Amino acid sequence: ALIVGLFILLAKFVGFVQKIIMAPYFGTGHEADAFTVAFNSIVFTFCLFPSQMLSPFLPIFVETREKKGEEEAWKLAGTTGAITAVIMAVVIGAAIIGADYLVFAASSFESVATTALVIKLSRFMLPAAFFMALFYLFALLMNSYKRFALPAFGDSLNKIAAIVFLVLLAPLIGIFSLATGVVAGAAISLAVLVMAFKAKLPFLRHGVGLRHPGLVQLGRLLPPIIVGILIA
């Protein structure tokens, strides 16, 4: 609890520093507004769904590992990861194509230029949601082994990457430097967790059938979670 709490505080602090560094470049102008809407209203929403929907996977993975062994549990993880990747790829692809409709639903900027920038930024950053979905899965796997520091550090790592890319690229590509940092931070966070499990990765290639009890149980738990998210 202490480790997770400290990393949550660190993420909040790094986010505060990000705003301070962002201010001299963009102030409170239309670029800052566009980024805020694109990230908070569009990209974050697509990150929220998988983070909540994958939460029941943790007890299912632990139960499978205890009853059927390490290899069987990781086969289940591999299939869950493959299904998650395919679904997210399709959903994000559709969101990128229909980004203009999402932005018009999420914002009401009078400026045509600001609205157009929100659409471009949303399309640019939406792949971050794909990486974050797999990050959440690996974070649950890591938590199942009582390892909490790296998953808890993920949010801070995302923000640190955003700051680094902002400082390096802002003079060249403006607000897209921050957007690049968002995507890169998500990819780096996922890579860190994947490398932490490199000894287990060969098991992921095998997988289990779609009628595996663990997948069936996960499928039964998803509808009420989806309803809860939509109501929230």
Q: What is the pLDDT of residues 193-207, one digit of tens each?
A: 999 988 888 888 778
Contact (CB, 8 A) for 172 and 16: no
How many of the other CB atoms lie within 10 Å of CB of 72?
17
How many of the other CB atoms lie within 10 Å of CB of 167?
13
Q: What is the pLDDT of residues 206-229, one digit of tens each?
A: 788 888 999 999 999 999 998 988
pLDDT in 10s for each residue of the chain, 232 residues: 888 899 999 999 999 999 999 999 998 889 999 999 999 999 999 998 999 999 999 999 999 999 999 999 999 999 999 999 999 999 999 999 999 999 999 888 889 999 999 999 999 999 999 999 999 999 999 999 999 998 989 889 999 999 999 999 999 999 999 999 999 999 999 999 999 988 888 888 778 888 899 999 999 999 999 898 888 8
Identity (one letter) of the amino acid at 112? V
The tokens 């890591």 sit on which residue?
142
CA distance 202 to 47: 27
Give pTM, 2 decimals: 0.91
